[in-house]
């Protein structure tokens, strides 16, 4: 029964299909351009984090000050200070959300071109090496380690130089598969 199902499976009568996986996110971040992008993002994040930390510490001190003076302030004065503190807290939360949006946009701006070039390299590798299917590693619950082309794709990207500002690098540009004929099935 099982052999009958296998023989009915599409493509089972043809030669072995070649499939592979690439951890696209990891590959993007391991390229020389990706490493530079991470450095830029870290600098931006660190700067923004320092600003947020300073505002948060200032609010904490203001809160402690309000608590210390609660017994000596009039009800109206206490209410005004609490309203001011709450307004500043909302501003801090808004700043946090805005900084996160800014960081995500900057990440997209920096990694988008790298990702487009990476996809061009993966497509050329698939065509050149006869792969029927190359999946993103994050979309597969399991893949044998020998099916993973991530390192090869990173090496191809890095050897291709700076070019490829468009959707994909020119045909033949940077196609230097490492390790010779990788016959992964």
Give per-residue pLDDT as tens, 113-134.
Answer: 999 999 999 999 999 999 999 9
State which H helix or E strand residue 112 sits in: helix 75-129
Query: How open is the CA angle 123-151-16, to the nearest 5 degrees?
Result: 55
Q: 181 lies in a domain?
A: no
Nearest to 24 by CA among 171, 180, 157: 157
Q: In DSSP terms, which residues pair with 22 in a beta bridge?
A: 136
Q: How many structural domains compose the chain?
A: 1
Residue 177 lies in a domain: no
Looking at residue 1, what DSSP letter applies?
-
Residue 15 has what pLDDT?
56
In-domain check, residue 79: yes
Lowest mean pLDDT among 27-36, 142-151, 169-178: 169-178
- Where residue 132 sits, what CATH number does that domain have? 3.30.910.20
Mean pLDDT of 76-99: 95
Domain that holds residue 27: 15-159
Its pTM stands at 0.66
Calpha distance 91→81 (Å, rounded):
15
Residue 176 maps to a domain:
no
The answer to whether residue 4 scores a pLDDT higher than 70 is: no
pLDDT of residue 161 exceeding 50, the answer is: no
6 lies in some domain: no
How far from 19 is each of 4, 15, 34, 92, CA to CA, in Å? 23, 13, 26, 49
């Amino acid at each position: 029964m099982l052999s009958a199902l296998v023989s009915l499976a599409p493509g089972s009568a043809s030669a072995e299909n070649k499939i592979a996986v690439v951890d696209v996110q990891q590959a993007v971040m391991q390229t020389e351009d990706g490493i530079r992008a991470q450095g830029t993002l870290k600098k931006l994040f660190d700067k923004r984090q320092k600003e947020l930390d300073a505002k948060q510490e200032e609010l904490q001190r203001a809160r402690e000050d309000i608590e210390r003076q609660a017994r000596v302030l009039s009800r109206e004065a206490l209410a005004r200070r609490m309203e001011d503190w709450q307004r500043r807290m909302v501003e801090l939360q808004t700043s946090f959300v805005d900084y996160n949006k800014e960081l995500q946009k900057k990440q997209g701006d920096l990694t988008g071109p790298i990702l487009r070039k990476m996809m061009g390299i993966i497509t050329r590798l698939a065509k050149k090496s006869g792969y029927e299917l190359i999946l993103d590693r994050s979309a597969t619950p399991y893949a044998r380690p020998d099916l993973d082309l991530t390192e090869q794709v990173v090496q191809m990207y890095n050897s291709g130089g700076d070019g490829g500002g468009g959707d994909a690098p020119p045909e033949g540009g940077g196609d230097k598969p490492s390790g010779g004929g990788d016959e992964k099935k």
